[in-house]
Structure 1
Amino acid sequence: MPLLEISIIPVGTDSTSFSSEVINAVRKLKEKELHYDVTPTSTIIEGDLEQLWQIAKEIHQEAISSGPNRVITNISIDHRKDKKTDMNHQIDTVENAID
């Protein structure tokens, strides 16, 4: 299943914090019942490709409409076709190799 990594950077705000953008994004993910993982610098979302494009667009639009005059949205998509995998499997593969 494809993975999308997204990070939102509001520019030109009065605060260096952008946790409110992350909170808004996570609320959207919960509403859509998408599997996700929040990291300190980005959020990883699992879903079909159309869902991922749509949620990335919604997260970006929410961030820009919440006040800043400029928002930088970085996304990365991991779309593997040769075998079925998911976030948990990828994490387990690394952690099992370490043990």
Structure 2
Amino acid sequence: MPLLEINIVPVGTNTSSFSSHVGQALRLIEKRGLKYQVTPTSTVIEGELADLMDVAKEIHEEALAGATRVVTNMTIDQRMDKPMTMEQSVESAQESLQ
């Protein structure tokens, strides 16, 4: 299943904090029933590609409501040779340390 890493940078707000924007994004992701993992600098979402693109657009547009400019960065990771989940990706990286 594809993974989407997304981070938003709202510009032109009255605060340097992003936490309210992250909270809004998480509510949108949860509303769609998608699995996600928050990291210190981004959020990784697991789902079908069309669903991921739809929620990314919604997150971006929601952030625009509270800022004069928003920069959204996204990375899509999709394997075609075998199924992949967020957990499997993390486990594989951790196993490579041994």
Confirm or deny a common fold (TM above 0.5): yes
Whichever residue aligns with residue 24 of structure 2, its letter is N
SS at match of 2:79: coil
SS at match of 1:8: strand
Count of residue pairs the alignment pairs up = 98
Alignment of 1:55-94 (within 5 A): 55-65=55-65, 67-94=66-93
Is the counterpart of residue 95 in structure 1 residue 94 in structure 2?
yes
Considering only aligned residues, what root-mean-square deviation do their CA atoms show, in Å?
Answer: 1.0
**TM-score (structure 2 length as normaliser):** 0.94
Structure 2 CA distance, aligned partners of 1:96 and 1:69? 44
* Structure 1 runs of 4+ with >3 Å offset: none
**TM-score (structure 1 length as normaliser):** 0.93
Whichever residue aligns with residue 41 of structure 1, its letter is T
SS at match of 1:88: helix
Structure 1 CA distance, aligned partners of 2:70 and 2:92? 35
Q: Which runs of 5+ in 1 are unaligned?
A: none
Q: Which runs of 5+ in 2 are unaligned?
A: none
Structure 1 CA distance, aligned partners of 2:22 and 2:91? 26
